[in-house]
Amino acid sequence: MSKKILPLVLGAAMGVAASTAAGATTLEDVKAKGFIQCGVSQGLPGFSNPDAQGNWTGLDVDLCRAMAAAVFGDASAVKFTPLSAKERFTALQSGEVDVLSRNTTWTMSRDTQLGLNFAGVNYYDGQGFMVRKDLGVTSALELSGASVCTNTGTTTELNVADYFRANNMQYEIVAFEKADEVVAAYDAGRCDVYTTDASGLYAQRLKLTNPGDHMVLPEIISKEPLGPVVRQGDDEWFNIAKWTLNAMINAEEMGVTSANVDEMKGSDNPSVKRLLGAEGAFGEGIGLSNDWAYNIIKNVGNYEESFNANVGPDTPLGISRGVNALWSDGGFLYAPPVR
C-alpha cells in the first residue's frame, strides 16, 4: 500500500521542516535554536552578496553577524535567507526571519502599517541615476524623454514618478521584478537611465559589461535611510538590533577597533569601559551578557571597519563616507551614548 504510506511520510517530512517557534520572545527563540535567521537581499555587492562558496559579505550582513556576536559571542551563529523585495516584509512578519537587514528604506507607512520597527539607519542613501557616458548628460534635469529602468515594488519606483512629474519631464518606466533583470535590460540598452539607491547604482555598475562606460549623475532625488527591521511588539529584540548598530557606531567614535579592543578594555576612558562592559551592566539591560559590545567589535569590527571593508573607497564600489561619516566628521551618524 505504498500510496497510503506516502502521504504519511510527506507529512512527517513537512513536520520536520516546519520549524515551530514556541518561545515567547524572539531572543529566547533565537537562543533556543542557536542562530539568528537574517533576511538579506538576493545579491547586492557591498551590502549583502554571496560569493561562489555561498559565504555572505556586506554592510547589511555585518550587522546580522554583529547581532549574532552580541547574542552568542559568535559572529558565525547566523543564517541568511535571500529575499526578494516583494517577500521581505512577509518573511519578517511571519517569523521566517528574525531580523531583516536588506537595504530597506525606512518610511512612515512601513514603520506604522506593516507591523514592523526600524531599528536605526546603517546607511544613509538617496536615489540617484546612472546613465551612459556617451549620452552626454550631466544632470538629471536633462533626462526628459528618457526611458528609465528600475525595480518594481520599491520606493524608487514612486520617487522617480514624483521627480519627473515635479520637474515636468516626460519619461517611460520599465520596472522589473529582480535587480539582475534591471541590470541586464539596462546593459542591453533598453533604457537610458537606471535608477535606484545611489549605493545600489555603484554596486550594480560592477555587473555591467563595461562599467567604465557608465556614470552616476550628481542629483540625489530622495531620502533613503536604510536600516535593519524587526517585528513590532518585541521590545527586547528591537533593543538588541538598535543597540548593536549603536555599539558599532559608538565604537568608531571612541576609536575602538577589532584590533585594539582587548587593549581598550583596560582603557581609563569611562565611556569605553561602559561600552565594553568593564563598567556597569548595560548588556543585562537588553537581555545579553555585559561583554556584548566587546563581542561585536572583536568579531565583526566597528562601523568604520565594516564600511571600509565592504563599500569603502578601497573596494570595487569605491563609495566615500560622505553623509555616512560620524557626526563629528560632518556626517549623519550619531549614536546615543551608552550610559
Is residue 140 within 8 A of residue 219, CB to CB? The reply is yes
Interface characters, 171-210, with another protein (x: CB under 8 A): xxxxxxxx-xx-xxx--xxx-x-------------xxxx-
**What's CA 5's distance to the chain center, in Å?**
45
At 193, give phi and psi (nearest 5°).
-130, 140
Q: Does 320 bind another protein (CB under 8 A)?
A: no
Site string for another protein, 145-164 (x = CB under 8 A): xxx----xxx--xx-xxx--
- Which of 66, 78 has the CB closer to another protein? 78
C-beta of 189: minimal distance to another protein in Å?
A: 5
Per-residue contact string for residues 28-47; x = within reach of another protein by CB under 8 A: -x------------xx----
Q: Which of residues 223-262 bind another protein (CB under 8 A)?
A: 231-233
- Nearest residue (CB) to another protein, 35 versus 279: 35
Question: Cell for 117?
Answer: 520597527
Residues 52-91 within binding reach of another protein (CB under 8 A): 52-54, 79-87, 89-91
Q: Least distance in Å: CB of 68 to another protein?
A: 15
CA distance 129 to 195: 5
**Least separation, in Å, of the C-beta of 138 and another protein?**
10
Minimum distance, C-beta of residue 75 to another protein, in the bound complex (Å): 18
- The 10 Å Cβ neighbour count of residue 94 is 10
Contacts of 63 (CB under 8 A, 6+ apart): 101, 122, 228, 244, 245, 248, 306
If one asks whether residue 22 binds another protein (CB under 8 A), the answer comes out as yes
* The binder of another protein chosen from 50, 73, 225, 287 (CB under 8 A): 50
From the list 62-70, 121-129, 144-152, 319-327, the region that binds another protein by CB under 8 A is 144-152
Task: Determine contact, residues 117/229, Cβ cutoff 8 Å.
Answer: yes
For residue 300, which of 43, 61, 103, 50 has the smallest C-alpha distance? Answer: 61
Given the complex with another protein, which of 217 and 297 has the nearer CB atom? Answer: 217
Rg (CA), the chain: 22
Q: Are 47 and 103 in contact (CB under 8 A)?
A: yes
> Which CB, 50 or 285, lies closer to another protein?
50
Candidate ranges 8-16, 61-69, 216-224, 239-247; the one touching another protein (CB under 8 A):
8-16
Question: Does 142 help bind another protein (rule: CB under 8 A)?
Answer: yes
Question: Quick check: helix, strand or coil at residue 172?
Answer: strand
Closest by CA to 41, choosing from 101, 93, 96, 91, is: 101
Give the Cα separation of 264 and 272 in Å (integer). Answer: 7
